[in-house]
Structure 1
């Protein structure tokens, strides 16, 4: 099944994207939160004319030997059926400058190649396990 995404004109930098993953880690995240609908979050950014998602994710290497890290991928890849059972796009109720600032910060983390935090330690700012904690 192909994901139905909002028209390009409806997206904005800083929008949050959520997905319910299909893998083992997603099931573990969902088991930890009995009311949770989604297991993963990313932030929408613009790269040229394309809408991308920046997110910290394990087990989705971009190339052989790639480490688990903050990555940027097209929004269609983020929501592809191999990775997502369902999903949503949501807008933060904040001034657009705040949202654009969050998007810039997300891109900076991607360009720094920040590693995924497999210890899930919120006190460790050198690695990330959730882009929703920016």
Structure 2
């Protein structure tokens, strides 16, 4: 981590505040498309990943849970490069002023969860996290977000999305329809957040 402390700050980081949430737009295929297919809430934006930003020693980091590396603290420039390689955009959302007081405790909680593996089953587990699960937990003590019954039903057909049927069949698990969980689109739709713009 020390290698990054003398780097030039990212030019777009000026619009960031500690505790801002970065939402990554969804791709249309694969896991990303399958997540979005059953969770999209807004026509103008659909997301498949989320992280929280923290400024430390005048440098920005993104704390997030990703398939590669699990729960991690990544340099902002490196995080943005990973997303742009896939042609995805990163949108900044911020807690409204009434909820900003929850940020310091949330960042402490996020730091305490670093190093855990990624939860590839998307079924809540205390020993591994997926991206929105990691963020929901960081703010759980302040009840910023809430867990909701998960759905894997394709709204176009009314049946379980084929991707998810196959996904869980390969793991010898039942599709966790109705189990508590969260997703980036659900978090982005929270009335406690405001959209700041694109990073």
- TM-score scaled by length of structure 1: 0.75
Determine helix, strand or coil for the equivalent of 1:72: strand
Q: Which runs of 5+ in 2 are unaligned?
A: 1-9, 138-199
Determine helix, strand or coil for the equivalent of 1:55: strand
CA contact (8 A) 2:26 2:36 kept: no
Q: Match for residue 21 of structure 2?
A: 16
The question of 1:26 aligning with 2:28 is answered: no
RMSD value, Cα: 2.4
**CA distance in structure 2 between the partners assigned to 1:84 and 1:121 by the alignment:** 28
Structure (1/2) with the larger helix percentage: 2
Choose the corresponding residue for 2:60, options 51, 60, 74: 51
Residues 126 and 99 of structure 1: CA distance in aligned 2, closer, same or farther (over 3 Å): same
Task: Compute the displacement of 1:24 (Å).
Answer: 3.2
Which structure's CA Rg is the greater one?
A: 2
Residues 4 and 48 of structure 1: CA distance in aligned 2, closer, same or farther (over 3 Å): closer
Task: Compute the displacement of 1:95 (Å).
Answer: 4.2
CA contact (8 A) 2:13 2:60 kept: no
**RCO higher in 1 or 2 (8 Å CA, sep ≥ 6)?**
1
Structure (1/2) with the larger strand percentage: 1
